[in-house]
Amino acid sequence: MVWVSKSLRSAGLQILLSYIYSVSLYHDDDSDNTDNDKGVLSKEDNTFPTILESEVRDAIKRLPKNKPMGIDELPAELLKMDNPLMVKVFCKLCNRIVETGEWPTHWMKSIVITLPKVTGATECAGHRTIALISHASKILLQILLQRTVKVAEEQFAEEEMGFRKRVGT
């Protein structure tokens, strides 16, 4: 069964907008740093920085192995073949999506599957659901997540320990 989840429908756009909003909240107007390659909004035109091929390559490497295909029926292993042409194509595609703000419709669809928590479950409470989304959309979502984490990490105080990777008490 194929569903277009209301929350998934604009999830990518919401992540993009929340990234832009969070960066603008913490943007220091006194700073002379306008380096657009750091994933930070530029002061002059308030545009989203260009997605780099290195970011796409890293996002592709982070795709999980041996996972089921999404609605696009592309296995992650196909995308992870370390093909420079594929990296360039995805880089251009991701930048086009960011520029226009329009996500491909097949990236917004998911396959929702119910799995029994225990053998022989017959009631809804005895099942859990998983949503299979396209691996292609996971690439852009991973890039946006990494950029958001980078901006958030810069804002945390050194004493802040909660929910941070490689930081503990």
> pLDDT value at position 4?
39
Residue 49 domain-assigned (yes or no): yes
Cβ neighbours of 7 (radius 10 Å): 9
Q: Is the pTM of this model over 0.85?
A: no
Q: Name residues whose C-beta falls within 8 Å of residue 87's C-beta, 6 or more positions apart in sequence.
A: 53, 56, 57, 60
Q: Name residues whose C-beta falls within 8 Å of residue 148's C-beta, 6 or more positions apart in sequence.
A: 15, 18, 19, 22
> pLDDT value at position 168?
66
Domain coverage including residue 31: 9-104+136-155
Average pLDDT by stretches of 10, the chain with 169 residues: 43 55 53 44 62 93 85 82 87 90 84 87 86 88 90 75 67
> pLDDT value at position 6?
47
Cβ neighbours of 118 (radius 10 Å): 7
> pLDDT value at position 76?
84
- Tally of domains within the chain: 1
Distance separating alpha carbons of residues 24 and 73, to the nearest angstrom: 37
Residue 148 domain-assigned (yes or no): yes
Question: Tokens in use for 154?
Answer: 């810069």
Residue 92 domain-assigned (yes or no): yes
Residue 81 domain-assigned (yes or no): yes
Residue 114 domain-assigned (yes or no): no
